[in-house]
Amino acid sequence: MFPLLVLCGALLGAYLLLCLTVLRLPRCKSPVKLHGKTVVITGANTGIGKSTAMDLAKRGARVILACRDQQRAEAAVSDIKKESGNNEVLYMHLDLANLQSVRSFAENFLKAESRLDILINNAGLVMRGKTKDGFGMIFGVNHLGHFLLTVLLLERLKACSPSRVVTVSSGAHRVGKIDFDCINTHKDLGVGDSAVALFKLYSNSKLCNVLFTHELARRLENTNVTCYSLHPGAIKTEIGRHSNLWWKMALLPITTLFFLDVESGAQTTLHCALQEGIEHLSGRYFSKCAVEEASTKARDDATAKKLWEVSERLCGLA
């Protein structure tokens, strides 16, 4: 019995040490206030997006939750208004799985709002299926929808500069790859619908996020609009809520023990959106509220340029 207690104590001690060191995430230290500024956040009705929206609302920003589910979004708006004391929080419909919805959102936003200071491409999912336009769901939502949204709002961002575009990627981008032949033949980043295949598709989409930011920064040189991609950390969110039951059960012990809360997950997003003095790092990848070297393939100029051009064609911009 005694050896077992010692072992349990050692394991508990190791776990606590892990939580206080490796798993612990730094906080955004920026004191910046945002009165008179407007922020758009996709997927802000839950998880990291909602936590990000809450923080920015507390700083005085006009915060627009760009979400697909009206009921959940309006509930989030109510929560944020109540806790932040800021009534300049509203919902606008956006379904990233439907490019026409993206165009409608952009059109309605540009008509109704005079400013856009920060665009946060936060929404993401892991699920099977196709978008309204026939793309793989993960590819369509995690990359193409955000690509089109950003391009359509760029002129307003330029007009309100200095402004920023922040795109939530993932450390999973390091195992991702871009297969342009597959994109051309299947309108997707890969094939298969097993749990492993879905993780590969997710990783590929997160690589798209980093490459998109890399190329966007090049195109925004001398505009006073900067952009950043980031890894939020291992966070307990609802991103996998559409996954099958067995996959959820397999991941439950890992997420329970080693994944952190959504407020922690929002910190690097907030750092990229708010921190002064990082403008020269436009196009770079961040983790734990600091710049970090992205994978070599995520910094390839030719791949980034080709992905941009292919995305323009798929979105009907070229």
For the chain, first and last CA: distance in Å? 71
Q: Nearest CA to 142 among 190, 92, 73?
A: 190
Please name the residue ranges forming H helices in 129-219: 137-139, 146-159, 180-186, 195-219
DSSP assignment of 85-99, as one string? ----EEEEE--TT-H
- The reply to whether 202 belongs to the active site is yes
**Measured distance CA(66)–CA(170) in Å, rounded:** 21
Q: With contact defined as beta carbons under 8 Å apart, do 25 and 234 qualify?
A: no
Q: With contact defined as beta carbons under 8 Å apart, do 289 and 267 qualify?
A: yes
Q: Looking at 91, 202, 228, 285, which residue is catalytic?
A: 202
Query: Largest alpha-carbon pair distance within the chain?
Result: 71
Peptide bond preceding 162 in cis form (omega within 30 of 0): yes
CB proximity list for 311: less than 8 A, separation 6 or greater: 143, 144, 147, 148, 212
**Measured distance CA(159)–CA(220) in Å, rounded:** 13
Count Cα atoms within 13 angstroms, Cβ side, for 142: 31
114: which DSSP letter? S
Enumerate the active-site residues: 202
